[in-house]
Each structure stands twice: as structure tokens, then as C-alpha cells.
Amino acid sequence: MRLTRHWVYEDVLKLGKTGDDNFFLDIGCCMGTDVRKLVVDGYPPNKVIASDLCSEFWDIGKKLFKADAEGDKIRFIQEDITELDPKALESMPSPDNTLAAPNTLSDLHQRCSVIHISYVFHFFSKEQQYNLACTLASLLSPKPGSIIFGAQVGLAEAGERTSAMGYKTFGQCPLSWKELWVGEGGVFSADAAECEAKLFEPEPKDAITPNPIDKKPYLLKWSVKRL
């Protein structure tokens, strides 16, 4: 349960009860464990969007949680978010509140009050991470209080890291992560958003395996909130 162990979780539940559009988007949902827990805790299921590269994961989740087509109101979108062009999203007009339920991630332009993405960013280079962050920002609602949050492998000092499978990625530390999101050269201006990021010693449930050829990994938890 990654959602319930994050410090913004109670704020997320409150957003779901305001009665606004308030879509919750989970990127890299896998079998949907987190979003189903979110619904159990009170977030409207018709406002929850789960997305992953592999629909097979979602199908397994339906069997695991014994959800049928009528009873499962959580919408699933099979799509690769890294294929979206953040500049193209930025040029899209503001969304019409009368829009039907989204069928693609692009349909969520400026409509997500909450975006959760865990164990995804650390697979990419520094430039790719910035592009992904810009894409998420384009999907986020412009309303103050809208949140992007998650967790990933982090480092005490930012720099290139080697994954367990041997390919090169970029490891963020709390300072570099804040710089990616907020301030000069970041996704948001300093007066538009605030970023909080903390390193934690990984526990077995965090599924972070130390790599003998890599720097010591930590669990980097973070949140970005519109002001």
C-alpha cells in the first residue's frame, strides 16, 4: 500500500469529497491495489483513473479483487505516458467541464486534482524525467491544492546510477528533485507550486534491492502541490 504510507494521503481523500471534477490518476497502477484501497477509503470510484503499459496487470487485478464489469467503476487506460508530448498538451485549450469520461491520458489535460506515480521516474535519464514531469504538470488541474506525489529510488547525492539490470539512469536526491519541479529551470515557478521531498531507509516492503555496483539506494518520497 504505497498510497496510505504517504503524508499527503489524508489531503487526497479530502479532495475526493469536495464534489468537483477532481480526477485521481494513478500512473503505473499495475494490478490496481492502491486505487482500490483509495476507493474503499472514500474516493469516488467514477473519478479514479488507473493507467499502465500492460492491460494484463489490470485483468489480473480484476480477478484478484473479484471485480466484475458492472461493479468495477474505476476506469483503466492502457497507455505509455512517456509518448505524450508535453508541449502539445500545453497548447491544448482549457478543458470543458461537460466533457465525457476520459478515454486517453490526453483527455485528462488540466482535469486531474491528484496524480500518483511511484517507482517510475527512476527508470529514466535526467532529461526524460524532466519531460515526464512536464507532462504530469499539463494533466494537473490549475486549482490551488492540486497534488502530484509518489515515491522512487533516490540517492543521498544526485547522479547517474546503474540499475539492477545494468542500464544507466539518473538518481535524484531531495535537493535536485525540488529543483526539477520548482524554481528557475523547473517545471513550476516558485510562486506557483511547492515541493517536498524526503529520503527514507528502504524497508523490505519497499521492494528496493541494493545493487553491488550502484550507490546506496534510498526511498525518495515526494509531493508537489499547486499554490
What is the structure's pLDDT at 58?
92
Residue 31 binned pLDDT confidence (cut-offs 50, 70, 90): very high
Residue ranges and CATH numbers for the domains of the chain are 9-226 (3.40.50.150)
Give the confidence band of 71 by pLDDT, cuts at 50, 70, 90.
Answer: low
Query: What pLDDT is attached to residue 204?
Result: 72
Distance CA 152, CA 198 (A): 11
Per-residue pLDDT, 88: 87
Residue 42 buriedness (CB in 10 A; 0-12 / 13-18 / 19+) = exposed
* Mean pLDDT over each residue of the chain, to the nearest integer: 89
Reported as type and span, the H/E element at residue 49 is: strand 48-52
Is residue 161 very low, low, confident or very high in pLDDT (cuts 50, 70, 90)?
Answer: confident
What digits encode the pLDDT tens for the residues 167-195?
Answer: 789 999 999 999 999 999 999 999 999 99
C-alpha triplet 24, 6, 74: angle, nearest 5°: 25
Selection from 219, 221, 223 nearest residue 201 by Cα: 219
pTM for this model (two decimals): 0.93
For residue 156, CA distances in Å to 143, 151, 153, 200 come to 33, 15, 11, 10
Q: Report d(CA 159, CA 168) in Å as an integer.
A: 10
Q: Calculate mean pLDDT across residues 18-29.
A: 86
In angstroms, the CA 124 to CA 212 distance is 20
**Which has more confidence, 211 or 219?**
219
Q: What is the pLDDT of residue 79?
A: 95
Question: Which residue type, as a one-letter code, is found at position 124?
Answer: F
